[in-house]
Amino acid sequence: MDFTTFLWTTFAAFVTLATFSFLYKDNPFYKFAEHLVVGVAAGYFVIILWHNGLVPNLFRRLADGDWYLLWLNSTMWWYLIPAILGALMWTRFSKRWSWVSRWPMGLYIGISTGVAIPLEMSNRVSKQLYATMIVNPQNPGIDWANFWGHGGFDLLDVASGFSQVLIFIGAVAALIYFFFSKAHTGIFGKAATFGIWILMIGFGASFGFTVMARISLFINRLQFIDQEWIQHAMNPENMVNGSHWPYQLVFWAMILVVVGYMVFELVQHFSSKGKAAPAE
Amino acid sequence: MKRQVPLVLVLLFGLFMIFQYFVPHESSEWVYEFLLDWIYIIGIFALALGIWSLYVVSVDKVKTRKHDWGYSYVTLAGLFGMILFGFTARHGDEWGWYLIFVACVLLTVIMSVQAMAARINKGLPLGLAGLFLLGAVLIAVFDDTWSFYFYTQEGLQSTMFRAFFDYIMMPILATIFSLLAFFIASAAYRAFRARNLLASLLLIAALIVMMRFFPYFGENVGEFIARVSSWLMNVPNLAAQRAIIIGVGLGIVATALKVILGIERGYMGKG
């Protein structure tokens, strides 16, 4: 690893440790990392949307027009309309003219909601209902031949008829639980109770899955600090002008900052404890 | 005019977009694509509102010396630094005066904010801001080791833009997400006590899924837990997720209809 990359990696390790320091308490290093990422992420999306959004969708389409004619002579001049409407959004900056920004907002909301209705009905409602009722399109209906499992009794077989029935009944029961226009009593109430069981198992499984994903990320950050930073700092093959000490210097300077802050916090902690003791 | 026009626009475009979904003709598809391009462009222009808001909030914090106001400079430096790197790129390996140019621009921003925040003696920060701006302009005119690229994507490949993304943005975001492991675990400790049947179901399902990759169970127990975990994810969890997705879909459709029919008008704001 060359020295410039190592310096950047050291900074990445610094912001990683600074972010982890929030586990102890809110502190200046965490605040630095937090404020930095807000600015950098905002700038990043400005650039991405400019280069991947505005340039290909607007500027290139108007490119054959002349700026001194306000691109009105472009062959795709009608793309000036969304640009003007977009610019009208900026009237929000003015108290007097902010109502004008409702026009592009109305257009935006109208198109978005109009697109959403058939797509949501298709993707989230119809296709989910279809998949709940017809699990296997090649062999629609319940797999009675393998109801208790493929090749013998096996309740853990996810493709068995039993699992298919359970998915269907579970989904219907969970929907019944969400239906509040009828009192949850009698058979309806029992179905709702079964629905909440299914929901709780689902929430538990999703929770466990999410925790494992976060822990994987945590392990990844520790691997980064170990493999990308510490090991490169300690590797004697990394050199600047035939010398390894610049790597060591940067590494130990970082360690000094971290340990120095920990000592500072400990001193603060114990001194404030002494002050907080009740004087009798 | 102030409220009726947007309501009419929402109604007309909303109904049109619903209607065109059921018209399998290429002209209908062309209009669909065309209007999607429109809202994409309008949405990008709206991003400027967000960036302006971030700038105003940061400057306001400095002006009123709110708690932790000094960190607003870090936010502004990150924002303007990233924008600058995205629009500039070096021609070769030579750095020239590039980094001094970046420093001059950032110092111009910081001094301008300082001038806005200062109650007296605004002259010094304003003068310094002018000086740094002059320096930045001179470097931009005379230094030919780098250029501005507004129309092509050189900026996206520039060393500094990629370094800011790889070594600042990604590590912090990934670490913030990984921090959630600890907060979820502490929340789970409080929420998951097996006080009744429902809490016990939640706890057992979560534990089984979490133990799926535990390496010290041995082959037989490990395989059994992996199968139970897979069944939990693919049968009861699937049923629950289906019900939730269907509920969410119906909710979105109902809300969208309320917006199109003018019952829900929150998007128009006050005034």
CB within 8 Å: A103 and B83: no
Count CA atoms within 13 Å of residue A60 on its CB side: 10
Residues paired with B146 in a beta bridge: B90
Closest partner residue to B260 (CB to CB) among A11, A46, A114 is A114
Chain B: give the shortest CA distance to residue A274, in Å.
27
* Contact call for residues A22 and B58 (beta carbons, < 8 A): no
What does the CA dihedral B103, B106, B107, B110 come to, rounded to 10 degrees? Answer: -160
Other CB atoms within 10 A of residue B182 CB: 15
Interface of B with A in 184-213 (CB under 8 A): 184-185, 188, 197-199, 201-210, 212-213
Closest partner residue to B267 (CB to CB) among A105, A206, A221 is A105
User: Tens digits of per-residue pLDDT, A106-125?
Assistant: 999 999 999 999 999 999 99
Dist CA B37 CA B40 (whole Å): 5
pLDDT for A92: 87
Other CB atoms within 10 A of residue A55 CB: 17
Residues of A within 8 A of B18 (CB-CB) are: 114, 117-118
CA B213 from chain centre, in angstroms, equals 32
CA B48 from chain centre, in angstroms, equals 13
CB within 8 Å: B155 and A166: no
User: Tens digits of per-residue pLDDT, B211-233?
Assistant: 887 878 888 888 899 999 999 99
Average pLDDT rounded to a whole number, residues B156-170: 93
Q: Between residues A139 and B186, which one has the greater pLDDT?
A: B186
> Is B254 an 8 Å CB contact of chain A?
no
User: Tens digits of per-residue pLDDT, B182-215?
Assistant: 888 888 777 767 678 888 888 899 999 988 878 7
Other CB atoms within 10 A of residue B93 CB: 7
* Contact call for residues A110 and B264 (beta carbons, < 8 A): no
pLDDT for A276: 58
Dist CA B90 CA B76 (whole Å): 23
Helices within chain B (DSSP H only): 4-21, 26-63, 71-87, 98-117, 123-142, 154-157, 159-164, 170-191, 197-210, 219-234, 236-260
Give whole-number Cα distances, B94 to B101, B105, B144, in Å: 14, 20, 10
Name the least confident of A129-143, B121-135, B152-166: A129-143
φ/ψ region of A23 (left if φ > 0, alpha if ψ in -120 to 50, else beta) reads alpha
Measured N-to-C along each axis, helices B26-63 and B71-87 cross at an angle, to the nearest 10 degrees, of 140
Which H or E element spans position A267? helix A245-276
In the DSSP assignment, the letter for residue A77 is: G
Closest partner residue to B242 (CB to CB) among A44, A59, A132 is A132
User: Tens digits of per-residue pLDDT, A51-104?
Assistant: 999 999 999 999 888 888 888 888 889 899 999 999 999 998 888 888 899 999
**In chain B, what are the domain boundaries?**
1-64, 70-162, 172-268
* pTM for this entry: 0.86
Interface of A with B in 208-267 (CB under 8 A): 208-212, 214-215, 217-218, 220-221, 224
Residues of A within 8 A of B6 (CB-CB) are: 102-103, 105-106
* Contact call for residues B76 and B113 (beta carbons, < 8 A): yes
Give whole-number Cα distances, A183 to A165, A191, B180, B247, in Å: 26, 12, 38, 18
